Amino acid sequence: MPQIPLAFAAELGHEHGSLLELLSRLEAATQPGTEGGTGPLPALLREVQANLRRHFDFEEQDGYMSQALTDAPHLYNAAQELLAEHGRMAADLNALITFAAAAEGAVTPTLQVQVRQWVLLVRRHEARENSLIQKACNQDIGADD
């Protein structure tokens, strides 16, 4: 019996696609050499926040904690580590939103660096999730043989 529902894997892939698109927009808004101007950064950060909340809810309610990974202890531990990162990423994003609001839309050099560091962290998190799901799917295929 498949351990990772294909519908979940497909939905997660779709979710990651839309999140990665937003992260690319954040990187474009904080390109080195563009600091000092004002722009859509505060609104974009809030858009990312709303997307991320939905995304984390999806993963926490329907994904990692499913029976699928409780049956695979080595993957379950990795999933727990990833889930534990959600709170910190959300808190860091809240701090960035506060910082951007205080700067009144100005993309300061400090804000630029902090936003890009945060984007990098989220990209790494998402890449590790994709790898985890891929391993689980491969395991399912092996189990079905």
3-state helix/strand/coil string of 73-126: HHHHHHHHHHHHHHHHHHHHHHHHHHHHHHCCCECCHHHHHHHHHHHHHHHHHH
Residue 111 has phi, psi (to 5 degrees) of -65, -40
Q: Evaluate whether 137 touches 4 at the Cβ level (below 8 Å).
A: yes
Q: Which stretch binds Fe ion (CB under 5 A): 42-50, 90-98, 127-135, 136-144?
A: 127-135
Nearest distance in Å: CB 9, Fe ion: 12
Nearest distance in Å: CB 14, Fe ion: 11
Q: Using CB under 5 A, which residues numbered 58 to 77 contact Fe ion?
A: 59
Q: Which stretch binds Fe ion (CB under 5 A): 23-31, 100-108, 109-117, 124-132?
A: 124-132
Q: Evaluate whether 70 touches 79 at the Cβ level (below 8 Å).
A: no
Does 129 engage in binding with Fe ion (CB under 5 A)? Answer: yes
Q: Using CB under 5 A, which residues numbered 37 to 56 contact Fe ion?
A: none
Q: Which stretch binds Fe ion (CB under 5 A): 91-99, 100-108, 109-117, 120-128?
A: 120-128
Nearest distance in Å: CB 12, Fe ion: 7
Nearest to 104 by CA among 13, 37, 23, 48: 37
Matching residue, tokens 């534990």:
84
Nearest distance in Å: CB 125, Fe ion: 6
The residues that touch Fe ion, with contacts defined as CB under 5 A, are 59, 126, 129
